[in-house]
Each structure stands twice: as structure tokens, then as C-alpha cells.
Amino acid sequence: MRLLHFLRAIAGVAAISLLLTGASLAADSAQRIVSLNLCTDELLLRLADPAKVASVTWLSLSPSGSNVADLAVKVPINHGLAEQIIAAEPDLVLAGTFTTRIAVGMLKRTTIPVIEFSVPRSFEDVRQQIRDVAKLVQAEDRGTQLIDEIDRRIAAVAAKPRSMRPTAVVLNPNGATVGQGTLANQIMTAAGLDNIAARLRIDNYGQIPLEVVALHEVDVLIVSATRDGPPSKATEALSHPILSKLTRTRIVSMPGRLWNCGGPAIAEAVERLDAVASDVAREKSGQ
Amino acid sequence: MRIEAENISVRLGQVDALRGVDFAADAGEIVGLIGPNGSGKTTLLRALASLRAADGGHVHYAGRSAAEVGASELSRQIAYLAQGGEVHWPMRVEALVALGRLPHRRRFQRSAAADREAIERALLAADIVALRDRTMNQISGGERMRALIARALAVEAPMLLADEPVAALDPLHQLQVMELLRKKAVSGGGVVVVLHDLALAARFCDRLVLLNSGKVLAAGEPASVLTDANVAKAFGVDVVRGAHDGATYVLPWSPTKRQ
Amino acid sequence: MRERISYGALVAYLSLLVIVLAAGSLSVGYAPLDIREAVVDAVQGRSTLGALVLVELRIPRMLLGALVGFSLGIAGAAMQGLLRNPLAEPGITGVSGMAALGAVIVFYFGLAGGAPLVLPLGGIAGAALATFMLYGIAGQGAGTMTLILAGVAINSFAGALTSLALNLAPNPFAVTEIVYWLLGSLADRSLQYVWLVSPLMGIGWIMLVMTGPALDSLTLGEDTAASMGFNLGRLRMQLIAGTALCVGSAVAVTGSVAFVGLVVPHLLRPWVKQQPGKLLLVSGLGGAALTLLADVAVRSLPIRPELKLGVVLAIIGAPFLFGLIWRLRSEA
């Protein structure tokens, strides 16, 4: 886990340095931009003039999975295939560090600049990514506005007086949770929750056994929003009967789109969790 | 018990393995089934044991058909000793012989005193009492065959059908096994045995049935069946004959000269 | 082997072993739990956290470990008896692979309205199909090589179709999920699974145990067995159906867990003096013991995330297989 942490940090630094060199190349010329990643889709759509958006991924079209579905319908769509991307004749491509490696590899062999962004792991990462994309699309003002709005909303929540911090844990499909060094962890902390996965020194997206969840009797159990989707083995763990029997645990669902990517949605995530935290704190002190 | 087969035909794939075969065997006698390779001996034996239904004709057991007798009753009336003597798991000899009591054991019944006694008798008759605790892969070929025969004897069925029980044995064990079969017949059982060895067939069997290409070429006492003409026609060999201790013996000597 | 122990004593000892390991399984977990207190609370109906974890998490895990292990052990012994080959076990012969395919298809395509029972039924259907195929290709006392080739063919077939099914599955995350599931695990299963599969497994067990005398007679070949009054066609059907019920349900619960049905009958065969009929119940108990032991190991080893059960059993099973091949080589 530590090794992974370290490697991710290196990747992040590499990505940003790649970005800076790429930025100097593309600064004046980016007019047709393609995005290959859900998170970069969002930043591109929010910050760039629509005319500059050559295409975004099909994932952004889904209202349950994307924060910018209404914006995405207005632009061309790609499925991450190298042929489609090249056919769009972009002069800049934004991708995630875990996006289709083969397509990205292919693109790098062309003259098209490819800038990769890793998954944001903190508020500072989010701010930096917004700044970077804003610079690339020559919309620095919009970028600053976005950052200010996010900061303002989060600060408002962080400033609230708190009598206590309810304990919380995130339970994702396959028993995964969010631990130290993740954006979601920082969101939970900002919202006034005490993430027990962080306390137990679970890194990144490690696993948490149901036993541990049950025996800690957390105040708030956060699960992924269950879409009315096709059956999934992974969500079965979330329907284990023991969860409904933990009478003192409140179960709330959070759609992944609110905290998987860096954007204004993270402020909404903080606000939502704060509402829950305050509610729980009120209940407990009222007892 | 009398086994009677009337006008039996069996078709295996494209080939008529048996055509219009009549056969009978009674208690107290050893009937030898002889013939060249592919003449249908094993097929007939299997039909007699109702392991394979005849395509034409009937097999009767003391006047009743196989269906009338029923599988479990038939398993107590007929003991079958298969060709080749395959034993898949190296069990202990005694446990193997004990398998012969399965037709008598009802579901979930543990072995009764009657079973244990039958097993003892079988071990004694086959002269393998000393081997009872050895495993099947620790004994010689001859001992193995005796163990398998003991298994068949343990069924204590009126009829024993044996398919080439002496095929791979040395002379001593061949004689021992044939003596064993004779003992069974003498004690009131009936035996039908498929044999390749004409000398043994002539010596030990009360009656012979000679098959050739799926049909009965000759049937009756050994002397009347093993004529020069029959033997030449079925096997393509000439024999020499002799006598010893009041019994005649027959030895294949040379291939029949073509006319 | 000079095992002087009687069959009854062997069954008793193995049962005791299973009980001890079951108790061990209950006391091992990821968080400290006072078992005695939890048991007392549970019995008195107080739903304290400890009682809740005991009843909802640890007991199902222990029960499923025992049930799955028993089913795989007895099915392995039955298949070896039917095919008269010590290498025949549900994993090698592709029965588990096809059971997994059945479960995948039924689950991901939401068949039969998604009622909970469909998962084990899908597994059973897959397992039955595989056993038919196996008997069709390699049956009738075929040699080891034929059997292994048949198993390879069926496994490849199952693997290919599973990949296809996952490719076409409506859930885009199906692939990642099923990879974990196929590695085999007992983690976080609920009592619902226990109620679901135990009747099906129970029927399977009974069907298989009742073939004991017939399997013994098959030692002497099919003709001899038939002459002793056993209906071979019905025997085969009973063995196929029993194996399908056992393996299909087990795979539906835990995913693909191999080697239990191979290792256990081998270890125990000398103790029942090579008799295939007696091996059935004894292999079931041995399988339950082995699976419980592996599951205890999975939770005790300080490796996170939790090692998959299938992986631990494969780590035990593969060297065992090598040893077997080595011994066969030196005997040849």
C-alpha cells in the first residue's frame, strides 16, 4: 500500500511536470481539445468555450454518473478509441493516468500533445488541476472563479462550530473503503466526520471487512448510490442483512460523481455530508 | 437352475455377432464355450448373463425371462466373472471377496453373519485365506485371479459364468482355477466358462459348445465336438490326441494345410 | 498403509476435527470479539454488537465453509469413483468452471426475475451440463489422459463462454467483479446463502452417499457391477445429479474453489482401505475440515486485503498434485 502511495505521488508529480512542458507548447494554440476521461471531461466542459471542445467521452452523457450531462449533450462524443480521436483532428488531448493505456500510447506517438491528469487526492490537487486546465484552454478567469466558489462553500462548512465529530466509514462494492490520502477522506473530514478507515490507517482505497464496520458501530455508513442498474455481484455485500440490523448506524448514500472527480461537485459533497453530520450530532447531544 | 437360450441373435454395430444360437446349461455341469477370436463367445456369455439384451430370441432362467426374474433376484442367481480381471482400486483381498455379497445385502444393511460365513467359504475354496489382508497389487497374477473367482464364489449363486478366467495364468494356476470350477460344479452349481485352451476345455468340461462366426458349429460331449473336421474348420489347426489316466487330451499341433 | 483404524472410528475422529475447526473459525476474525459473551447475548436474544457479528457474519461464514467443503469433498470422491480415476475432481474436470459459467449467466443477465435462488440453480445447471459432457467424452472407465484432455476441453469451453458472457453483460463492471469472485472467497456471506444452499446440498449429499455400494462394485468394472444387480444408467444419473447439486451450490456461494475434491479423497483413501463407497462420507468430512482450516488461515495471516480462499487452497493443492505426479513417475 505504501509503495502504491509513493508511486502515485511520483505519477502525480510527473503528470504535472509533463503538463507544464506541454502547457508551454500548447498555450497559444489549443483550439480543438479532446478529453478521454470523465474527470477531465468535466473540467473541459466547465472551463472551455464550447467551440474549443472537439469531443468528450460517452461517460459524461449519463446523468447518474456525470455532473455535466447537460453540457455534454451539446458536444461530440468519443468512446476512447484512438481512431475516433485522430479523426477529430485535435490539437490537445486531456487524459487520466489510468485512461485506456493503448489509445494514449498511440496518441503519444503522434505529434498531438497529450496531457495526463492523475486522480485528485486532496483539495489542493483539485485547485491545481482547475488552474492547469484553465490555463490550457485560456480561461484563467473562469478557473479562478470556480476555485473561489469551491473554497467559499467549503470554508463555510468548515467554520461551523461542532460539538462532536460523528464516526463514519465509506463502504463501496467489494468491501472497498476510502482511507488516508484520498479526496473523499478530506471531504469527510471537512464535513465534520471522523473517518474510521483513516484512523485504522487504511490507505487509499483499501478493503474493510464488514466485521470491522459492525463492531465499530459507526454513526454514519456511506454507501455508493445504488443505481437502478443491472445486477452486480459487488453490490451484494452492501445488502448484507447485518447492515440493516445496526440500529444505531445511519446509512446514507452518496453518488460517486460527487467525489470521484475534482470540480465544484466536491463542495456539494461536503455540504451534503455536513448536513448528515450535524443531524447526527444534534441527535446524539439531544439524548 | 437351468439357463436356456433360444435362437439368440445379437448385432454389434454393423456386425451380426451372434446368429440363431441355441444354448442350455444345467446345475452340476461345466459347459465350455470355445471358438476362434471374434466368434461371439463373450457376446453369448454376456447375453446369458443378461448384461446385454439379445436382439432376437430369448434367454430363460428356470423358465422365466430376465424381466420376470428381476435384476436383484438375477444377481443372486448368476455370478459373472468378467474377462481381463480389472480391479480399479487396490483393495484388500478380503474386502474384494466381500463385494460378492453385495447382491445379498439390502440397502444400508451391515454385513451379517451369513455374509461373513460365505466369504470364509469362498476364501477357503479359492485357497487364499493366507492372503486375506494383502492388497490386490501385492499379490501375483494367479493369486489375483483366484481372488476374483473367490469374489464370484462368494455370491453363492447357482450359476457361475466365467469369461476366460485362465487366459493370463501360468500352468499351475490354470490347473488350480479349473479345479476350482470343477469343485463348484460338483457341489451342485452350474458353470459356463469361455476358454481358449482346447486341452483344458477337453479335460475339464462336461459339455462343449463350439462357436464359429456367431453360429454354433457343434455342441455336445468334448469327443463329439472336437473332431478333426470341426477343429480344422473353426480354428484352422490340426490336433494330436492322446490318453492319460483314462482321460483323453487334445493338443493343437499345426496349421491345417490348405487343399 | 497399516491404518488399523475402523471406519466408524475414522468418521468419529473426522467429525470431531470438523467441530473443533468450526469453533476455531468462529473465534477468528478481523476484530476482537468476546465469543462467550456474544454467544450468551445471542442465546438470550439481546442484539448486542457482539451477538450481531457472531450470528450475522461469523456463523454464516463458518457454516458455509463447512457446507461447501463437505460438498466438494464428497463430490470429488464420487467423481473419482464413477470415472475410476484418482485425478477426477470437479476443478480439473471442468465441472466447477461450468458451474461458475452457469452462475455468471444467470446472475448478470438477471434471469428469472432475479430471485435469490437463481444463483445456485444456475450453478447447478452448469455443473450438470459439465458432468454430462465429461461422461460423454471420457466416461466408461477411460484412461487418465483422456480424462485430463476432456477436463482441459471443458475448462477452456467454460472459460471462453464466461469471457463472452462478461463481455456482453449489461453491467460494465462485471469483469472486475467476477475476477475476484472466481478466485473464491467466503467473506461477508450472509445467512441467506446458508438457507438457500443447504437443502440443495443436502439432497446432493444423500444422493451421493447412497451410491456407495454401487461404487464399490464398479471397482470390478461395469459388467461385473451390472451382474451384481446395479443399474448403471441410473447410477450415472444419480452421480451426475448429486455432483451437480453439490458443486453447483458450492460454486454459487464461494466462486471457484478447486483442489478440495482432489486432495481430500487422496489423503483419506488409504484410511478407508481404498474402498470408494466408504470414501464418500469421509471425504465430505475431510473437505469440510480442510476448507474451515483454509478459511481460518485466510483470516489469521496478516496479509491485507484478505487472501482469497481459492488461492490458499490452490497453494496447498498444486504442490500436492506435483507430488502425486512425481510418485506416479517413480512407480512407472
* b (16+ CB within 10 A) / e for C145-177: ebbbebbeebbebbbebbeebbeebebebbeeb
Phi and psi based region of residue C171 (left: phi greater than 0; alpha: psi -120 to 50; beta: remaining): beta
Last residue of one domain, picked from the residues A155, A177, A202:
A155
Contact at CB, B89 and C275, closer than 8 angstroms = yes
Coil, helix or strand for B135?
strand
Question: Chain B contact for C140, CB < 8 A?
Answer: no
Higher pLDDT, C56 or C169: C56
Both A70 and A212 in one domain: the answer is no
Q: Inter-chain contact B80–C274, Cβ cutoff 8 Å?
A: no
Q: Facing residues of B162 across strands?
A: B81, B193
Would you call A240 an interface residue with chain C, using a CB distance cutoff of 8 Å? yes
Clarify whether residues A280 and A213 are in a common domain. yes
Which of the listed residues A155, A187, A205 is the one where a domain comes to its end?
A155
In chain B, the residue whose alpha carbon lies closest to the alpha carbon of C141 is B88
Q: Report the alpha-carbon distance of residue A240 to residue A245 in Å, rounded.
A: 10
Reduced 3-state DSSP string for chain C: CCCCCCHHHHHHHHHHHHHHHHHHHHHCCCCCCCHHHHHHHHHCCCCCHHHHHHHHHHHHHHHHHHHHHHHHHHHHHHHHHHHCCCCCCCCCCCHHHHHHHHHHHHHHCCHHHHCCCHHHHHHHHHHHHHHHHHHHHHCCCCCHHHHHHHHHHHHHHHHHHHHHHHHHCCCCCHHHHHHHHHCCCCCCCCHHHHHHHHHHHHHHHHHHHCCHHHHHHHCCCHHHHHHCCCCHHHHHHHHHHHHHHHHHHHHHHHCCCCCHHHHHHHHHHHHHCCCHHHHHHHHHHHHHHHHHHHHHHHHHCCCCCCCCHHHHHHHHHHHHHHHHHHHHHHHC
pLDDT at C250: 92
- For the entire predicted model, the pTM comes to 0.84
User: What is the structure's pLDDT at C182?
Assistant: 76
DSSP strand pairing (B3-12 vs B15-25): antiparallel
CB spacing of B71 vs C231 below 8 angstroms:
yes
Q: What is the ipTM of this complex?
A: 0.90
pLDDT level of residue C141 (50, 70, 90 thresholds): low
B12 membership: H or E segment, kind and range? strand B3-12
Tell me the nearest-neighbour CA distance from B41 into chain C, angstroms: 15
Which residue in chain C is spatially nearest to A212 when comparing CA positions? C31
Q: Are strands A250-254 and B30-34 parallel, antiparallel or unpaired?
A: unpaired
- Name the grid cell of C99: 458451474
C265 in reach of chain B (CB within 8 A): no
H/E element holding B79?
A: strand B78-81
pLDDT tens digits, residue range C38-95?
888 888 887 788 888 888 889 999 999 999 999 999 999 998 988 888 878 887 778 8
Calculate what percentage of chain C has a pLDDT beyond 90: 34
Mean pLDDT on C161-188: 76
Give the domain extent around B244. Answer: 3-85+157-255
Q: What pLDDT does residue A26 have? A: 46
B166 within domain boundaries? yes
Cα–Cα dist C332/C330, whole Å: 6
Cβ C220–B148 below 8 Å, yes or no?
yes
Task: Determine, yes or no, domain membership for B178.
Answer: yes
> What CA–CA distance (Å, rounded) separates A263 from A35?
15
Does position C200 have pLDDT exceeding 50, yes or no?
A: yes
CA B168, B174, B177, B183 dihedral sign is positive
Whole-number pLDDT of residue C116:
63
Rounded Cα distance between A210 and A227, Å, is 22
Say what the alpha-carbon torsion angle A18, A22, A24, A30 is, to the nearest 10 degrees: -150
Asked if B193 contacts B165 with a C-beta cutoff of 8 angstroms, the reply is: yes
The pLDDT-based confidence of C160 (bands split at 50, 70, 90) is very high
Which pLDDT belongs to residue A25?
A: 46
Whether residue A15 is found in the same domain as residue A147: yes
Whether C209 contacts chain B with CB within 8 A: no
| A151 and A15 assigned to the same domain | yes
Is B220 part of any domain? yes
Both A8 and A150 in one domain: the answer is yes
Cβ separation B72–C229 shorter than 8 A? yes
Taking an 8 Å cut-off on Cβ atoms, the answer to whether B79 and C227 are in contact is yes
Q: If phi over 0 gives left and psi between -120 and 50 gives alpha, with beta otherwise, what is residue A189?
A: alpha
Neighbours of chain A (3+ CB pairs under 8 A): C
Same domain, A21 and A120: yes
Domain count of the fold of chain B = 1
- Physical contact, C and A (3 or more Cβ pairs within 8 A): yes
Same domain, A98 and A7: yes
Per-residue pLDDT of chain B (259 residues; tens, 9 = 90+): 889 999 999 998 888 889 989 999 999 999 999 999 888 899 999 999 999 888 988 999 988 888 888 888 999 999 999 998 889 899 999 999 999 999 988 666 666 888 899 999 999 988 899 999 999 888 888 888 889 999 999 999 999 999 999 987 888 888 988 998 998 888 888 999 999 999 999 889 999 999 999 899 999 998 899 999 999 999 999 999 888 887 778 898 999 887 5
- Least Cα separation, residue B86 to chain C (angstroms): 6
The confidence score (pLDDT) of residue C74 equals 96
- Predicted local distance difference test score (pLDDT) of residue A146: 93
In Å, what is the CA distance from A112 to each residue of A118, A135, C3, C18? Answer: 19, 18, 75, 64
Residues A149 and A275 in one domain: no
Q: How far apart are CA C305 and CA C180, in angstroms?
A: 12
For chain B, the residues whose C-beta falls within 8 A of a C-beta of chain C are 46, 49, 51, 71-72, 74-76, 78-82, 84, 86-92, 95-96, 99, 102-103, 105, 107, 135, 148, 151, 155
CA distance to A9, C13, C131, per residue, from C127 (Å) = 47, 31, 6
Q: Find chain C residues with C-beta within 8 A of A214's C-beta.
A: 49, 52-53, 56-57
Rounded-to-integer distance, Cα C44 and Cα B105, Å: 49
Chain A residues with CB under 8 Å of C170 CB are: 229-230
Same domain for A26 and A122? yes
Q: Which domain holds residue A166?
A: 162-286
Query: Does residue B126 lie in a domain region?
Result: no
Nearest CA in chain C to B82: C224
Which of A89, A124, A155 lies at the terminal end of a domain, its last residue?
A155
Residue B197 belongs to some domain of the structure = yes
- The closest CB to that of C30, out of A174, A206, A212, belongs to A212
Q: How far is A161 from chain C (nearest CA, A)?
A: 31
Mind listing the pLDDT tens digit for each residue in A73-90? 999 998 888 888 888 889
Identify the closest residue of chain B to C214 by CA–CA distance.
B102
Q: Do B95 and C275 touch (CB under 8 A)?
A: yes
Ranges of chain A with pLDDT below 50:
14, 17-27
- Select the residue of C33, C50, C304 nearest A206 (Cβ to Cβ): C304
Question: Is residue B96 included in any domain, yes or no?
Answer: no
Mutate to test the interface with B, among C83, C220, C234 (most CBs of B within 10 A): C220
Residue in C30, C46, C186, C303 to test binding to A, most A beta-carbons within 10 Å: C30
For residue B238, the domain's CATH number is: 3.40.50.300
- Report whether the peptide linkage leading into residue C305 is cis, meaning its omega lies within 30 degrees of zero: yes
Number of domains making up chain A: 2
Say if the Cβ atoms of C219 and B78 lie within 8 Å.
no
Closest partner residue to C114 (CB to CB) among A206, A207, A231 is: A231
In a domain, B27, yes or no: yes
pLDDT at residue B34, rounded to an integer? 94
C210, C213, C273 member nearest B102 (Cβ) = C213
Phi/psi at A216 (nearest 5 deg)?
A: -80, -15
Picking from C1, C4, C209, C224 by the largest number of B CB atoms within 10 A of its own CB, the best residue to mutate is C224
pLDDT tens digits for C257-289? 878 898 899 889 989 999 999 999 999 999 999
Residues A134 and A9 placed together within one structural domain of the fold: yes
Q: Is C274 on the interface with B (CB under 8 A)?
A: yes
In A131-217, DSSP assigns E strands to: 167-171, 194-195
What local confidence, expressed as pLDDT, does residue C93 receive? Answer: 79
Q: A207 to chain C: which residues are within 8 Å by CB?
A: 304-306
pLDDT tens digits, one per residue of B44-74:
999 999 998 889 889 999 888 888 888 889 9
- Enter the C-alpha cell of residue C104: 455468471
CATH entry, C10-17+60-289, from 3.40.50.880, 1.20.210.10, 1.10.3470.10, 3.20.20.60: 1.10.3470.10
For residues C77 and C304, the model is more confident at C77
